[in-house]
Structure 1
Amino acid sequence: MEASIQTNEPGIKQVKATPILISLLLGASIGMFSETALNIALPELMKQLQVGPTTAQWLTTGYMLVLGILGPVSGLLLQWFTTRQLFIVSLTFSIIGSLIAGLAPNFEVLLAARFFQAAGLALLLPLMMNAILILFPAEKRGAAMGSLGLVLMLAPASGPTIAGIIIENLSWHWIFWISSTVLLIALIIGIIFLKNISVITRPKIDILSLLLSTIGFGSLLFGFSKAGEIGWTDPLVISCLTIGVLALILFTWRQFSIASPLMNLRAFRYPMFSLSVVLFAVMMMMLLSSMLLLPILLQNGLGKSVLQVGLLLLPGTIISGIAGPYMGKLFDKYGPRKLIIPGLVLMGTTMFLFSTITVNTSTAFIIVLDCVFLLALSMVMMPAQTNGMNQLPAEFYPHGTAIMSTLQQVAGAIGSALAVTILATGQSSYLSDKGFDMSNGINYANVDPAMLEHLPPSVVFGVKGAFIFAGLMSIIALIISFFIKRAKSSEQKIGQTRTFDRGH
């Protein structure tokens, strides 16, 4: 990676790409880490803060809601404020949130701190992706986007592992103390080295689009989050999903009918971008649902402790971190198909093998499958995303990054809700076959002693069903992948045209 390069934006001088990328990666990795780190700490938080599981879950649900609501707005902000301004504001939000969370005396303060953290990440993720698109030419973006893969895969995957080690040796407060320290380092690096690398256009702000976006994505994310908790037939879930879908239909119509859309959905007219969006959504659903299912399988199905689960999931986390940049370089050299198609075949095979597990399956077998799954995911996610973004003209970069950032949260919420639903349905079906009345679900606060010996195999049975569904999704993704071809960006086409003209 060059120390100093010319950006793709007119009027922007040469900048040092490496320190800019380091500061962005540091900040975003802590944000993505924070999204999943608290999952493993929820039991301890419920005891100390004296709240129930439904209330405690808002620490994760609220975080995702803020990310989903601010995602569509990020494209507009990228066109209104400089790279430096957005970076400083996003890191400041994240640092304030982490400090407040570390000092939080009660649940309400901790929840407010999570909103600050999420706001910072919601600004930083699209800013980082947009910076990569501007800093690196299309033929070198694969390696740079591979670094982005470190954030999208390694950071959230490492959340349970690192948090488990911290909680075992210190307390949950240290999750936020450590986070705020790293964020402060990233902010200092950014203040010293980060220059503006984008052109400010300040398009007209459409208030109606903002309102429809907030209602649509907010209701949809809340509905999916609650569906995994209280069921899909609950009136609250049905109402939220209905309102969300209707608002997003109106939002879509509005974006095509105004001159300066909040989120320019005309990006979907580029076929490789559209295919990459579908693949990216499926991969995020599989990634976040597996991150939810595997700890449950290892803890409730195989009887492992929190610390053991964190350490057992560490090998896969390391492999995904190493593979991301390497897959990016392979993408630059060979294009998307030679990575995506084998990756999806490998992923489907892994899901099939996951569906064969029993309570007697060795832990080593599960960890090997996890490592192979995350390796296969790295072969698909970043190449697909990079190929799709490469086809977009430069004026679509802010909108493309906003679409991807928003989709990440929506797909994650859908994947998690479906995983929980399939797990709960399978578990209830298993226990019903054993003669237990499951009309009111499982009351973990007062479990029937006769049911105790059947709980681990019921968890395994439910998890197997979720992996079968994931396998079907990977088959659908494989079919889509056959339509992918290497995309050429507008700048590549211009370069080829100039070469042709010089030759004639």
Structure 2
Amino acid sequence: MVYVSARKPETIVFIAAFSAFLATFNETFLNVAFSPIMDNLGVGVSTVQWLATAYMLGAAVMVPVSAFLYRSVPTKCLYLISVGLLVAGSVIGALAVNFPMLLVGRIVQAIGTGMLIPIGMNITLEVAQKRKLGTYMGIMGAMTTLGPSSSVIVAGVLLSFFNWHMLFWVFTALSAICFICGVCLLSNVAELTHPKLDLASTIQVGFALIGILYGVSTIFSGNILIALIAIVVGILCLIAFIARQNKLSEPLINLRPLSVKPFAIGVIINMISLVVIFAMNIVIPVFMQSALEASALDSSLTLFPAILLSCVVSPIAGRVYDRYGVKALLPLGFVLICVCTFALALAKNTGSPVLLAALYIPVICGSALIIGPVQSFALSFLTPELNPHGVTVMSTGFQIAGCIGSSLFSGVYSLSAAPSNGFTAASLLAAVFALGGFFLALYVRRLEKRKMVMAVVTRD
């Protein structure tokens, strides 16, 4: 059954962008409140960190299932269910009087978030005109950058005046606005094919993601042996999942997009850029609080100029992609990230928040030059049939990048007793990631040039 939207593409993309912002905003919104939650509910660090770990795992597991749901449930209904789960989870968290109740609320939120990001991307692909795909994906990229970055600032401001319960009430209000927008403005845009849900595949991919992400997120802060076992189990389940998908006539996730080389490389490049964003959004505020004795609010505000500019750069990068492709955007973006994260490593002893803020601007703007364009580039190589599965792969990569960025870099930072040395190590690691991304970007330039030549030959 095919649904035709009566809404303008711009209206539907606005809803998709709002939901992308909301979902990524919630990824890190509560992290700033871990200390007051520990004091209020009488729990330790090893317990409170489950608010982040369980959220990440819940969202990651729901991403693959979203591809099945997108082709099985009318778009508007599925969207409202996803946002409704955010509202319900937020209310549970706001009313929580003990840690188990708070954790339940966070997991309910995670289920909604895990569906919302891929749904938003799929909606954008459905309604976007090809000549405007880069612009629309640039807007989506701006929202996925703005969300986790601005949440730290908003949370810091709110905690200066209210207790941690207010964070949930504010997010409840934002989710309710998003829900109302969906009711009033969203149309059904997806073609429903009603695929069969393979339960064994769902279990396999669930254990694979939980094992790998749990292991990565706890290897520096928990029992190393248990973390390694979780990673091994996750990898084995992932291998079994891949083998099963290749045998099914209706796989849970069609992995054929990964056989398309430009798409696979685009996913890796997107993840590298996201890793740097998640990493530096945590490392810079922590360094400022521990080494420079800045307040949580002041350290968060250091990120604000970069966040503001990235929202301007992302749509511009999308328009440039629509006209010229990724040939200049990706290498330039990674050069900015690499040079400025290296400079941040050298700036550890200056003690200047202004310098840190100035050096972070090119880092976040460099990511803005990459995320939207590379997503558009990667998905442009897929057929309409494979697009939902490509989006699922891309969205799963988002969750994995968030885990690596927050956990790996926080772990590297904490390996040294001196905050300045930890900050140097984390910044240099970010520069290494960016250098790898730069070489991949050069390869993408060749792929894009080859695609343009083939298009000219075919047209002639």
Fold agreement, TM-score > 0.5: yes
Find 2:258's aligned residue among 255, 268, 272.
268
Give the corresponding residue for 2:83: 91
Task: Say which of 484, 490, 504 aligns to 2:444.
Answer: 484
Matched, 1:160 2:152: yes
TM-score (norm: length of structure 1): 0.87
How far off is 1:200 after superposition? 0.4
Deviation of residue 357 (structure 1)?
2.1
State the partner residue of 1:471. 431
Q: Structure 2: 5+ residue runs without aligned partners?
A: none
- How big is each residue's C-alpha offset from its partner over 1:46-72, in whole Å with a ceiling of 9 and x where there is no partner? 111111011111111111000111111
Q: Does 1:144 align with 2:104?
A: no
- Residues 354-411 of structure 1 show CA distances to partners (whole Å, capped at 9, x for unaligned) of 1102333311110011111101110112111111011110011111111111111112
**Structure 1 residues 412-461: Cα deviation after superposition (integer angstroms, max 9, x where no partner):** 21232221222122x14xxxxxxxxxxxxxxxxxxxxxxxxxxxxx1011
Q: Which amino acid is the alignment partner of residue 187 of structure 1?
A: F
Map residues 6-21 of structure 1 onto 2, 5 A cutoff.
12-21=4-13
* Equivalent pair of 1:298/1:304 in contact (CA under 8 Å): yes
Matched-pair contact (CA < 8 Å) for 2:302–2:356: no
Amino acid at match of 1:466: A
Q: Which residue of the other structure, out of 180, 183, 188, is the alignment partner of 2:172? A: 180
The 8 Å contact of residues 19 and 190 in structure 1, kept in 2 or not, is answered as no
* 1:355 is the counterpart of 2:315: no
Contact 2:142 2:372 in 1 (8 A): no
Q: Is contact 2:94–2:168 with CA below 8 Å preserved after alignment?
A: yes
CA distance in 1, matches of 2:17, 2:440: 30
Query: Partners of 1:74 and 1:282 in 2: how far apart?
Result: 23
8 Å Cα contact 1:267/1:399 also seen in 2: yes
Aligned residue identity for 1:361: G
Q: Which has the larger radius of gyration?
A: 1
1:460 alignment partner AA: S
**Structure 1 residue 138: Cα displacement:** 2.4
Correspondence for 2:112:
120
Which residue matches 1:294?
284
Quote how far apart the aligned CAs of 1:22 are.
2.5
> For 2:107 and 2:20, how far apart are their aligned partners in 1?
15
Task: Show the counterpart of 1:379.
Answer: 369
Pair 1:178–1:11, CA change in 2 (3 A): closer
Q: Quick check: 1:56 aligned with 2:16?
A: no
In 1: Cα distance, 2:163 partner to 2:305 partner: 24
Q: Deviations over 1:79-138 (max 9, x none)?
A: 111111111100110011111111111111111111111111111110110011110122
Residues 31, 117 of structure 1: 8 Å contact kept: no
CA distance in 1, matches of 2:129, 2:288: 43
Are the equivalent residues in 1 in contact too, given 2:19–2:120 (CA < 8 A)?
A: no
Preserved contact between residue 165 and residue 310 of structure 1 (Cα < 8 Å):
no
- Maintained 8 Å contact 1:351/1:467: yes
Partners of 2:2 and 2:246 lie apart in 1 by 28
Task: Tell me which of 120, 126, 131 is aligned to 2:123.
Answer: 131
For the Cα contact (< 8 Å) 2:139–2:314, is it kept in 1?
Answer: yes
Measured on the aligned residues, the alpha-carbon RMSD in Å equals: 2.1
- CA shift, 1:17, in A, is 2.2
**Against the structure 1 CA distance between its residues 464 and 494, is the aligned structure 2 distance closer, same or farther, given a 3 Å change threshold?**
closer
| Distance in 2 separating the partners of 1:271 and 1:495 | 21
Maintained 8 Å contact 1:131/1:197: yes
Which residue of structure 1 lines up, in the alignment, with residue 58 of structure 2? 66
How far apart are residue 342 of structure 1 and its match?
A: 0.9
Asked whether the 8 Å contact 1:255–1:265 carries over to 2, the reply is: yes
Structure 1 Cα separation of the partners of residues 114 and 371 of structure 2: 20
Q: TM-score, normalised by structure 2?
A: 0.95
Aligned pairs for 1:448-459 (under 5 A) are: 458-459=418-419
Equivalent residue pairs, number = 456
For 1:104 and 1:31, locate their aligned partners in 2 and report how far apart those are by CA, in whole Å. Answer: 21
From the superposition, tell whether residues 192 and 338 of structure 1 become closer, same or farther in structure 2 (CA, over 3 Å).
same
How far apart are residue 260 of structure 1 and its match?
1.1
Q: Is the 8 A contact 2:80 2:183 kept in 1?
A: yes
